[in-house]
Amino acid sequence: MFVADLTLKGSDASFVDRHFRDFCVSQVLKGNGSSSDQSKIVEIIAHRNTEELKFVRQTYSFVYNQDLLQLLSQKSNLFTRVLYLQLSEPHNRDAEIIRRTFSGRSLDLSILTEIICTRSSSDLRIVKEAYHSRYNADLRQDISYKMSGILKEILVAVLNSSNYSTARVDVSLSMCDAKTLYEAVGSGKYVDQNSIISILSQRSTCQIKSILSSYKQLYGHEFIKFLKKDRCGEFGKQLRVVIRCIQSPEKQFAKQLRAALKTGNAQETLIRIVVTRAGTDIRQINATFTAKTGWSLESLIRNEFNNSSCYNTDGAYSLVGDVLIALLRRA
């Protein structure tokens, strides 16, 4: 069956080409790859779409009788980590990133918030399904068990919004919800957390963006700006991050990169953000990051991975930089 599929998908010449690509992967993983092999790997990883990368995995399994992702997961260097993330199905990748935040010594709330709140409602629904399929667990229940406090309530509400994954926007409803938001935080009395949580849990991300736009149209300022006020407390602080992720994800990603530079964790953060956002909004992230720091993402990648001080004996760091830069330039 698979041989027939190969025949249908291309000529014998293209099959030989695919076989050569997989040979390059195999040699690099074994540490025997030449510089030309490594360049070929960079070309494949950075210039193939999701379906093409899926076919590379299938071909590798057919030729070598091994699961390429499983093989990559057994390696410990950053280059194989980049390969693994890029070759993974996006929704499975998101599910695994979330799962990894649960398995650490401490729960990484910034990554958890990033994945849940920067994805569309339709994407989030598929991530939940992938999480259940891979781990035989319910993502909503795991968050409720692992977390406590107001952020848990907000994230569970956003997860519930995936049940409303239509891309259709109801402008009249947005106007009504915008007024509800104003009454919840802008009336000068108290913060009505329940009304805000209700909106987050029953509206798709597209609808929430429309609500926020309607709020500005009605009241002349961004809803998120009002949350800076001290009287909104911890609820306002956490809600501000979530709203920024939904409304302007590029600002949240740029902020995470700046924070990672201060803590010395820029490499892992760069890998995750560039790989997961290369086909989405990496250009906007780059522009926002540059406006705030004066550095382009490419210059940051070169500084983190391609200078002589971080080049290790097997060249893995340099290859990571090459893949990330290629993904940036492809966007």
Contact by Cβ (8 Å): 29, 80? yes
Q: Give dist(CA 80, CA 15) in Å, integer.
A: 24
Per-residue confidence (pLDDT) for residue 317, from 0 to 100: 74
Express each pLDDT in 287-303 by its tens digit.
999 999 999 999 999 99
Looking at the chain, the domain(s) classified CATH 1.10.220.10 span 91-163, 171-243, 249-330
Express each pLDDT in 16-74 by its tens digit.
445 545 555 665 565 555 555 667 778 878 888 888 888 888 888 887 788 889 988 88
Collect all residues with Cβ–Cβ distance below 8 Å to 54 and sequence separation of at least 6.
Answer: 89
Record: fold of 249-330: Annexin V; domain 1 (1.10.220)
Per-residue confidence (pLDDT) for residue 330, from 0 to 100: 87
Is 304 annotated in a binding site? The answer is: yes
| Phi, psi at 291, each rounded to 5° | -65, -30
Is 233 annotated in a binding site? The answer is: no
Per-residue confidence (pLDDT) for residue 16, from 0 to 100: 40
- The 3-class secondary structure across the chain, one letter per residue, is CHHHHHHHHCCHHHHHHHHHHHHHHHHHHHCCCCHHHHHHHHHHHHCCCHHHHHHHHHHHHHHHCCCHHHHHHCCCCHHHHHHHHHHCCHHHHHHHHHHHHHHCCCCCHHHHHHHHHHCCHHHHHHHHHHHHHHHCCCHHHHHHHHCCCHHHHHHHHHHHHHHCCCCCCCHHHHHHHHHHHHHHHCCCCCCCHHHHHHHHHHCCHHHHHHHHHHHHHHHCCCHHHHCCCHHHHHHHHHHHHHHHHHHCHHHHHHHHHHHHHHHCCHHHHHHHHHHHHCCCCHHHHHHHHHHHHCCCHHHHHHHHHHCHHHCCCCCHHHHHHHHHHHHHHHC
Cα(first)–Cα(last) distance of the chain, in Å?
Answer: 35
171-243 maps to which CATH number? 1.10.220.10
Total-model pTM: 0.86
Per-residue confidence (pLDDT) for residue 179, from 0 to 100: 95
Q: Give dist(CA 97, CA 107) in Å, integer.
A: 12
Is 33 annotated in a binding site? The answer is: yes
Per-residue confidence (pLDDT) for residue 231, from 0 to 100: 67
Q: Give dist(CA 251, CA 10) in Å, integer.
A: 42
Query: Which architecture, in CATH terms, is 91-163?
Result: Orthogonal Bundle (1.10)
Per-residue confidence (pLDDT) for residue 167, from 0 to 100: 73
Give pLDDT < 70 ranges for the chain: 1-38, 186-189, 229-231, 307-316
Contact by Cβ (8 Å): 2, 58? yes
Is 31 annotated in a binding site? The answer is: yes
Q: Give dist(CA 294, CA 51) in Å, integer.
A: 36
Per-residue confidence (pLDDT) for residue 41, from 0 to 100: 77
